[in-house]
Amino acid sequence: MATPLEKWVEEAAQLTTPNRIHWCDGSAKEREQYMELAVREKTFHPLNEKTYPNCYLHRSNPNDVARTEHVTFICSGKKEDAGPTNNWMAPKEAKEKVSPLFRGAMKGRTMYVMPYIMGPEKSPYSKVGVQITDSRYVVESMRIMTRMGKVALDRLGSSADFVPGLHSLGDLNPERRYILHFPDEKLIWSVGSGYGGNALLGKKCFSLRIASTMAHEQGWMAEHMLILGLEDPSGKVTYMAAAFPSACGKTNLAMMVSALEHMGYKVWTIGDDISWMQIGPDGYLHAINPEAGCFGVAPGTSNKTNPNVMVGLHRNALFTNVGFTPEREVWWEGIDGEPPAGMLDWQGEPYDPAKRTAAHPNSRYTMPITQIPCISPRFEDPQGVPISAFIFGGRRARTAPLVYEAFDWAHGVFVGATMGSETTAAATGAVGVLRRDPMAMLPFCGYNMADYFGHWLAMGKRVPHPPKIFHVNWFRKGPDGKFLWPGYGENVRVMKWMLERIEGKGKATETPIGYVPTADALTLDGLNISRQTMEDLLHVDPADWVADVEDSKGFFEKFGDKLPAELWKQHEQLASRLERVAVAKK
Ligand code: GTP
Ligand code: SPV
Ligand code: MN
């Protein structure tokens, strides 16, 4: 008798009518065979065998270079369950509308069936997904990003407990592009795009949008968070998870080479984008990284900013939409040095700075995360790692100080819920516009965000040892428009202060928005930064914050009666603390 998986694959084949069906086993031999085909058809271009062994360049359709949030839908039974921050379509209507785009879409092509595990192979917290696709780029990306193939099929057996994801490139027309999530069925449909977050369905679609609905139903958390361990001079490792919006520094923080390594502070990476967390037997939230790879922003990555990544991506890596040199090496803005002569830009044309950048601003590398030198020895730990701190953050040219600590869990949830960040190239649309992006989940929460806030508040009550909550801003600018803080490896100085706060030490001033480090609380040895700049970085300007409170009020109002009363209470309390400061000043 056919298994639920076989039945679903059969249905998908009837709809898309491929020439043949291939079940991916995830083996090295399979990769080799596919790569040969993919190179022949120019989906991939092999890089220099000496300097980048087993690495390939891919150029996507220029209209398909980032996530497209306007065509991403949550197809819950009721509109209210998707909430005011998601696009919604009724499930039946969505299927009627999008089925025709899948009909016959794989004619003359191969359908690949990829079973995959999100999470360590042996972890009880891991989950199985199966993606169908007609894109070899997607197959090779999923091979890196997940535990794909036989290993997943073995785990699944004949069970129906998997998240199906149907994907086809379609005709790559943005007018016929849809990314649909059916939270009731735990099903994903994606058509018309080959881009990462739209097409690698294990990533944002499953591990965040669908998983967040599962987590809500089952009492755990699926978050857009990196996971790292900070080792102190005694060798003790404290684990933290941080939620920053897309292209706001998760990968870089997770893999940083600590500027305080000589003092014994070192960072170990567990994950750089997504965290699944359950309450462990020790009363801490335990986090696993569902992914096996890293899909990172290329521009700005260099031996200076992120040497760990630079080591990692010299083998078995894919590069998407970066520059290509005559030596068959990759190049992007910020990699260091002058643009090499004779380079092709990301569209495959001779590089001309007057025309376009060498690499697309959202160009990416894809590599097995275990290739970075700082991968944590607990990366595969089935029980995950206990989390002592949550860090929220975003790009704020002003307003938010370098770091502050929330007063308690409920206040921390408020801090996360009112997070603001200037938009980036990771999604299509304007760049640099301030938008509210709660917990960095605005584009990734699979249900009504008001209920999501309620879930966060409830989790705080259920977790015996909830993480402390912090907020950071590496992107504050001075009047000259330049970043005030050097960032990258220097961010460990801020993490060290957090560690001290977790341990009940670390000096702080109480401000209306939370605890801010005193001017002398951060270890600044070896860093050439003026006292004035530090004061500017840590400054809490009441006028800016009054404006911010006003803006977050408008955001909260979108949720109507559904917004938890606790968040309105926090909002009023912040407003009155700011008021008090203003009165005291007069
Ligand atoms: P996604 O993968 O899209 O979710 O992005 P991310 O959050 O992982 O961001 P990533 O670490 O890739 O950084 C995005 C951009 O911000 C890159 O161009 C980095 O060079 C830059 N960046 C990262 N950390 C810092 C920092 O501490 N300071 C400054 N100024 N820039 C940073
Ligand atoms: C993001 O945009 O947050 C990314 C890239 O990490 S993608 O996987 O495309 O979502
Ligand atoms: Mn990243």
pLDDT tens string for the chain (586 positions)? 899 999 999 999 999 999 999 999 999 999 999 999 999 999 999 999 999 999 999 999 999 999 999 999 999 999 999 999 999 999 999 999 999 999 999 999 999 999 999 999 999 999 999 999 999 999 999 999 999 999 999 999 999 999 999 999 999 999 999 999 999 999 999 999 999 999 999 999 999 999 999 999 999 999 999 999 999 999 999 999 999 999 999 999 999 999 999 999 999 999 999 999 999 999 999 999 999 999 999 999 999 999 999 999 999 999 999 999 999 999 999 998 999 999 999 999 999 999 999 999 999 999 999 999 999 999 999 999 999 999 999 999 999 999 999 999 999 999 999 999 999 888 888 888 899 999 999 999 999 999 999 999 999 999 999 999 999 999 999 999 999 999 999 999 999 999 999 999 999 999 999 999 998 999 999 999 999 999 999 999 999 999 999 999 999 999 999 999 999 999 999 999 999 988 887 7
What pLDDT, on the 0 to 100 scale, is given for residue 10?
98
| Burial track 436-446 (b if 16+ CB lie within 10 A, e otherwise) | bbbbbbbbbbb
Amino acid at site 185: E
Q: Per-residue pLDDT tens for 111-125?
A: 999 999 999 999 999
Nearest to 199 by CA among 182, 214, 180, 185: 180
Atom 11 of ligand 1, residue of closest alpha carbon? 249
Supply angle C-alpha 263, 269, 271, rounded to 5. Answer: 150
- Cβ of 488 closer than 6 Å to ligand 1, yes or no, is yes
Q: Is 514 exposed, middle or buried (0-12, 13-18, 19+ CB in 10 A)?
A: buried
What pLDDT, on the 0 to 100 scale, is given for residue 430?
85
- Cβ of 31 closer than 6 Å to ligand 2, yes or no, is no
Nearest to 375 by CA among 308, 296, 317: 308
The secondary element (H helix, E strand) that includes residue 368 is strand 364-368
Q: How many CB atoms lie within 10 A of CB 109?
A: 17
What pLDDT, on the 0 to 100 scale, is given for residue 582?
81
- Cβ of 299 closer than 6 Å to ligand 1, yes or no, is yes
CB of 570 closer than 8 Å to CB of 513: no
CB of 46 closer than 8 Å to CB of 56: yes
HEC secondary structure over 59-127: CCCCCCCCECHHHEEECCCCHHHHCCCCEECCHHHHHHHHHHHHCCCCCCCEEEEEEEEECCCCCCCCE
CB of 405 closer than 8 Å to CB of 508: yes
Distance, in Å, from the CA atom of 41 to the CA atom of 51, rounded to the nearest integer, reads 24
Query: In whole angstroms, how far apart are CA 280 and each of 211, 214, 225, 387, 493?
Result: 18, 18, 18, 10, 29
- Cβ of 308 closer than 6 Å to ligand 1, yes or no, is no
Q: Which atom of ligand 1 is nearest to the CA of 426?
A: 3
What pLDDT, on the 0 to 100 scale, is given for residue 433?
87
CB of 508 closer than 8 Å to CB of 430: no
Cα dihedral 276, 272, 397, 322 sign: negative
**Among 200, 225, 252, 437, which is best to mutate for testing ligand 1, by the most ligand atoms less than 8 A from CB?**
252
Report residue 576: phi and psi, to 5°: -75, -30
Active-site residue set: 248
Atom 4 of ligand 1, residue of closest alpha carbon? 246
Q: How many CB atoms lie within 10 A of CB 92?
A: 10
Distance, in Å, from the CA atom of 109 to the CA atom of 124, rounded to the nearest integer, reads 36
Query: In whole angstroms, how far apart are CA 369 and each of 32, 271, 295?
Result: 20, 8, 9
Q: Per-residue pLDDT tens for 413-422?
A: 999 999 999 9
Ligand 2 mean position, distance from CA 222 (Å): 15
Cα dihedral 207, 209, 212, 213 sign: negative
Distance, in Å, from the CA atom of 490 to the CA atom of 108, rounded to the nearest integer, reads 53
CB of 421 closer than 8 Å to CB of 435: yes
Atom 7 of ligand 2, residue of closest alpha carbon? 197
Distance, in Å, from the CA atom of 46 to the CA atom of 507, rounded to the nearest integer, reads 53
Token look-up 């953050």 returns: 393
Atom 23 of ligand 1, residue of closest alpha carbon? 249
Nearest to 478 by CA among 396, 395, 393, 398: 398
What pLDDT, on the 0 to 100 scale, is given for residue 583?
84
pTM of the full structure: 0.97
Ligand 3 mean position, distance from CA 367 (Å): 12
Q: Which atom of ligand 2 is nearest to the CA of 426?
A: 2
